[in-house]
C-alpha cells in the first residue's frame, strides 16, 4: 500500500490587504494550486490512500468559492479510487457544539473518512469506522487512528491507545505541536512513551515546516504546510509517501509560490537606503515572487525610515509582495543611553525567557495589539500569535 501524507492545506487562506490587490487574489489561489499539485501527484503515482493531518481549511467559516474549489479537488481524488483519511486541526474545529465543521460536509459527501475518537463517561474510545463515524479506519491489515486537535487534553487521547494489540499495522494521524512550550497545542515527547513502538507511522500536523521527530522506537513525520501560510516560514515544505510493503518513507517538495529571502545587517553608522539598494544591484527583482528582507539592527538604535516605502519599491519593481522583517540584535559595544519604549522594554524582558525568547518580537506585538483590542478581535490576535510560535 502506498500512502501519501500531507497536512495544513489552509484552503481559503486570505492574506491581509485589499481584496482587489493582485497579492490578495494570487495568494488565495496559491493554496488551491498547492493542494491540486498533491492530488495530481497522488493520482499519477497510483497512491492508494491520502492522509491529511488537519487544517484542511484556514477558517471554520467558508465562502462558497472556497468550498467549491475544495470539492473539485477532492472529487478528482475520489474518482481516481483513492481513499482520503483526515482529522480536524485547530483551524477546522467548531467550538460551538450546536454546529459541525465543514469536514463533516466533506465526510457526508464521501470525499473523506473523518476520524474522531469518542468520549463516554470521561473515557476516550477509538471505535471502528461504521460508515459515518469512528476513531479508526481499517484497510486490509492496516488500521488508521485519528487524534485531531485536542489542546491540553491531547495526552489523554494518547493514553487511550496504549493498549493496542500487534495484530495490525497501526498508523496514527495527529494534529499537535511537540515541544517544551507549556501552552495549548503543544505536547511533550514524554507523552508518547506509552505508545512507543506501537505505530509504524505517525502522521503529524500543525507545524508548518518539514521535520521528522524521533521518539523512542517511533518517528513522527511532519510534512509542513505545502504553501507558505506566513512568508517567514521555513523553505522545507511538502509531503511524505509511505510504502507499507517496502517500509520506506520518501519526502517530496510541494508546489508553492517562489520566495526570495535576503539579509541585511546594519551598524550604528550604516545608511539604510544605500545598503538596501545594494541588495538588488546584482540581480533584478523577479516578477511574481515574494520577497522577505531580514534587516538586523543593533538593539536600541532607532531606524528613522518608513520601511513601507522600501517594500513598495520592491513590489513596484515586479514582486508580488515584499515583507521587511526587522530584528534588533544585542551589541555590547553600543552605548545605549536613549530611553527605551515600552515595547522595547517588553521585548527585552521576553527575549530572556527560555520558552518564548526566540519569538519575543511576535509576543510583544501581540501584547501591544491586545491592549486596545475588543473581545471579538482578541481571539484572532492570539490565533495569529500561536501560528507565529509554532513556525
Per-residue model confidence as pLDDT tens for the chain (391 residues): 999 999 999 999 999 888 889 999 999 999 999 999 999 999 999 999 999 999 999 988 899 999 999 999 999 999 999 999 999 998 887 654 445 678 999 999 999 999 999 999 989 999 999 999 999 999 989 999 999 998 888 889 999 998 887 778 999 999 998 876 666 667 888 889 899 889 999 999 999 999 999 988 889 999 999 999 999 888 789 999 999 999 999 999 999 999 999 999 988 888 889 999 999 988 899 999 999 999 988 877 777 788 999 999 999 999 999 999 888 777 544 444 444 445 555 555 665 565 665 566 566 656 655 554 444 445 555 665 665 665 5
The C-alpha cell at 32 is: 488551491
The C-alpha cell at 301 is: 538604535
Report the CATH number of the 2-253 domain.
Answer: 3.60.21.10
Residue 344 is predicted with a pLDDT of 53
Size of the chain, expressed as the number of residues it contains:
391
Model-level pTM? 0.83
Phi, psi of 114 (to 5 degrees): -100, 110
- Cα–Cα dist 228/291, whole Å: 12
Q: Pinpoint the residues of the chain covered by CATH 3.60.21.10.
A: 2-253
Residue 317 is predicted with a pLDDT of 96
Judge contact between 10 and 58, C-beta under 8 A: yes
Binning the chain into helix, strand and coil, the percentages to the nearest 5 are 30, 25, 45
Q: Which helix (H) or strand (E) holds 181?
A: none
Name every residue whose Cβ is closer than 8 Å to that of residue 388 and which is 6 or more positions away in sequence. 230, 232, 359, 362
The C-alpha cell at 257 is: 509560490
Residue 184 is predicted with a pLDDT of 64
For helices 22-44 and 64-79, angle between their N-to-C axes, nearest 10 degrees:
10
Phi, psi of 274 (to 5 degrees): -60, -45
Judge contact between 27 and 63, C-beta under 8 A: no
Q: What is the DSSP string of 294-342?
A: EEEEETT----S-HHHHHHHHHHTT-SEEEEEEEEE--TT----SPPPH
Residue that the C-alpha cell 553608522 belongs to:
269
Q: How many helices (H) and strands (E) does the chain have?
A: 9, 19
Residue 301 is predicted with a pLDDT of 73
The answer to whether the Cα torsion of 88, 89, 92, 94 is positive or negative is positive
- Cα–Cα dist 163/181, whole Å: 28
Residue 127 is predicted with a pLDDT of 94
* DSSP for residue 293: E
Residue 136 is predicted with a pLDDT of 96
Residue 335 is predicted with a pLDDT of 43
Cα dist from 188 to 149, 328, 358, whole Å:
15, 31, 19
Edge-to-edge strands of the sheet including 2-6? 113-114, 83-86, 49-52, 2-6, 238-243, 248-253
Chain CA centroid to CA 328, Å? 26
Amino acid at each position: 500500500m502506498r500512502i501519501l501524507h500531507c497536512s495544513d492545506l489552509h484552503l481559503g487562506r486570505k492574506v491581509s490587504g485589499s481584496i482587489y490587490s493582485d497579492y490578495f487574489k494570487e495568494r488565495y489561489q496559491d493554496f488551491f494550486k498547492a493542494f491540486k499539485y498533491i492530488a495530481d501527484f497522488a493520482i499519477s503515482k497510483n497512491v492508494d490512500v491520502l492522509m491529511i493531518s488537519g487544517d484542511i481549511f484556514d477558517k471554520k467559516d467558508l465562502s462558497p468559492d472556497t468550498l467549491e474549489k475544495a470539492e473539485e479537488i477532492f472529487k478528482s481524488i475520489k474518482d481516481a479510487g483513492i481513499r482520503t483519511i483526515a482529522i480536524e486541526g485547530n483551524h477546522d474545529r467548531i467550538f460551538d457544539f450546536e454546529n459541525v465543521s465543514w469536514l463533516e460536509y466533506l465526510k457526508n459527501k464521501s470525499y473523506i473518512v473523518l476520524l474522531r475518537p469518542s468520549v463516554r463517561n470521561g473515557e476516550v474510545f477509538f471505535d471502528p469506522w461504521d460508515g459515518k463515524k469512528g476513531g479508526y479506519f481499517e484497510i486490509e491489515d492496516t488500521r488508521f487512528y485519528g487524534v485531531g486537535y485536542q489542546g491540553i487534553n491531547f495526552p489523554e487521547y494518547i493514553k487511550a491507545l496504549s493498549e493496542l494489540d500487534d495484530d495490525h499495522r497501526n498508523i496514527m494521524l495527529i494534529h499537535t505541536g511537540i515541544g517544551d512550550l507549556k501552552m495549548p497545542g503543544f505536547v511533550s515527547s514524554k507523552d508518547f512513551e506509552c505508545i512507543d513502538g506501537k505505530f509504524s507511522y505517525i502522521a503529524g500536523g500543525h507545524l508548518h515546516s518539514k521535520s521528522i521527530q524521533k521518539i523512542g522506537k517511533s518517528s513522527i513525520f511532519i510534512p509542513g504546510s505545502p504553501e507558505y501560510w506566513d512568508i517567514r516560514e521555513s523553505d522545507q515544505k511538502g509531503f511524505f509517501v509511505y510504502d507499507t510493503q517496502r517500509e520506506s518513507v520518501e519526502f517530496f517538495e510541494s508546489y508553492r509560490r517562489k520566495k526570495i529571502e535576503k539579509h541585511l545587517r546594519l551598524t550604528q553608522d550604516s545608511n539604510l537606503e544605500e545598503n538596501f539598494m545594494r541588495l538588488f544591484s546584482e540581480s533584478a527583482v523577479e516578477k511574481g515572487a515574494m520577497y522577505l528582507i531580514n534587516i538586523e539592527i543593533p538593539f536600541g538604535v532607532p531606524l528613522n525610515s518608513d520601511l513601507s516605502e522600501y517594500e513598495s519599491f520592491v513590489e513596484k519593481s515586479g514582486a508580488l509582495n515584499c515583507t521587511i522583517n526587522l530584528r534588533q540584535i544585542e551589541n555590547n559595544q553600543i552605548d545605549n543611553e536613549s530611553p527605551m519604549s515600552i515595547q522595547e522594554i517588553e521585548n527585552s524582558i521576553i527575549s530572556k525567557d527560555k520558552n518564548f525568547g526566540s519569538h519575543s518580537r511576535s509576543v510583544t506585538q501581540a501584547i501591544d495589539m491586545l491592549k486596545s483590542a475588543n473581545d471579538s478581535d482578541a481571539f484572532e490576535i492570539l490565533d495569529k500569535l500561536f501560528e507565529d510560535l509554532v513556525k
